[in-house]
Amino acid sequence: QVQLVESGGGLVQAGGSLRLSCAVSGRTFSSLTMGWFRQAPGKEREFVIGISRIGGTTNYADSVKGRFTISRNNAKSTVYLQMNSLKPEDTAVYYCAADTRGTYRPTSRRDEYDYWGQGTQVTVSS
């Protein structure tokens, strides 16, 4: 019974920035490993970035390393995705996900996340 609601998506020019937020309810937020995935038209949903329960460990896809940053505010039960230097290939629906296992390293596997948000569209124009 974990609910996740993403926000912050929109249209941005290449090279620009966006900050996505994911508000979480229904579970002790600090017990959750959090991650972001994205799905572009005609492609499978892919792992973008993840963060451990208190934020000490992160896991990045190679395609976004150095450009995207994940953070969390456990007091606000919110996880963030800061996206800088956006490229047209970053265009996708971005999904927030929660892993209830409490492991130390954020997983990149879709099937190891238990709850998903509804997604928010990010479009990067060239």
Measured CA to CA, the distance from residue 59 to residue 78 in angstroms comes to 18
CB-based contact 125:11 (threshold 8 Å): yes
**What three-state secondary structure class fits 32?**
coil
Which pLDDT belongs to residue 36?
98
- Pick out the chain residues at pLDDT < 70: none
Interval 30-62: pLDDT, tens: 999 999 999 999 999 999 999 999 899 999 999
